[in-house]
Amino acid sequence: MHRLFAIALCAICFAPASSFGVDIKNIRPCHGPLGATRYDAKCLPGDVLFMTYDLEGLAVDKTTGKASYVTILELVDAEQKVLFKKETPNDVMPQLGGTRMPGDLHVIMGPKQAPGKYHIKLTVHDKLGKDAKAFKYEFVVLPETFGLVGVSAPAIGFPGQHYVTGFALVNLTLDKMNQPKTNVSIRILDAMGSPVTTPVQMVFPQDLPMDTDLTKANFVPLTFPIYLNRVGRFTVEVLATDVLGNKKAELRYPMTVIDINGFTGK
């Protein structure tokens, strides 16, 4: 189970800093492994909260070249009750040198997760350095409603790559025929906020995946492939409208396309 931005970072509370020993840096909520930065601290039941971080200043054994540490992940509710706890030992070798190791964590919200305030606490014990640090990240679980969950979106890509965003719509309002009336619009904006192409439109029930039965599971998994034809900084924007329920859900995240030649030349 290893491995929210301007507004979100204010919710992260660090243990007292020390000039020596292990430290936890670059804490970042994101949309999946190596994912784009997540801008909010709100989750729906069934969502996944994913975060990355760096451990700096780990002690390294001079004989084996390995660092040895334990991470303890806890999920705590508003009443300070620990709902989940997982301890993971790590014996790793920093093969590129240095004393830094990347890490990540994720927490999966249950489909009937109670709404309210929660926080994640991650504690790192450096066994060789005899030191420990922790951070806390606060977030909110919303009541069940129409929205997007389980977003997976890489932070970067390269020209010529087929880049894919994945997400799911949940809690669509159904008519008397158990069918939704939902529209999804996806557009890509450049660094100035201007659309670069015509938005992609999906209309449900016409575009529902085959054999979808929303009476059994009110959940529609979707993917959005993008062929990356040029470098630049972009924003992907997803707007979903539940017409019958008169509700909207929006997702925005940054995407950077990098020129790989800039890193491989002499």
What letter would DSSP give residue 235?
E
The model's pTM: 0.85
State the virtual CA torsion across 137, 143, 149, 154 in degrees, nearest 10: -20
Give me the CATH code for the 5-141 domain, please.
2.60.40.3880
**Domain 147-264 has what CATH class?**
mainly beta
What letter would DSSP give residue 209?
P
State the virtual CA torsion across 74, 77, 79, 83 in degrees, nearest 10: -50
CA atoms of 123 and 134, how far apart (whole Å):
4
Q: What is the pLDDT of residue 5?
A: 37
Q: What is the pLDDT of residue 20?
A: 61
CA atoms of 47 and 108, how far apart (whole Å):
6
Q: What is the pLDDT of residue 11?
A: 41
Contact in structure between 12 and 65 (CB atoms under 8 Å): no
Q: What is the pLDDT of residue 264?
A: 66
Q: What is the pLDDT of residue 265?
A: 60
- In whole angstroms, how far apart are CA 157 and each of 38, 150, 259? 17, 20, 9
Q: For residue 84, what are the β-bridge partners?
A: 75
Q: What is the pLDDT of residue 70?
A: 98
- Tell me if 5-141 shares its fold with 147-264: yes
Maximum distance among all alpha carbons in the chain? 70
**Residue 263: helix, strand or coil by DSSP?**
helix
Q: What helix, strand, coil percent values describe the chain, rounded to 5?
A: 5, 55, 45
Domain boundaries, the chain: 5-141, 147-264
Q: What is the pLDDT of residue 113?
A: 94
CA atoms of 260 and 266, how far apart (whole Å):
13
CA atoms within 13 A of residue 233's CA, in its CB half-sphere: 4
Amino acid identity, position 192 = M
Ranges under pLDDT 50 in the chain: 1-19
Q: What is the pLDDT of residue 194?
A: 96
What letter would DSSP give residue 78?
T
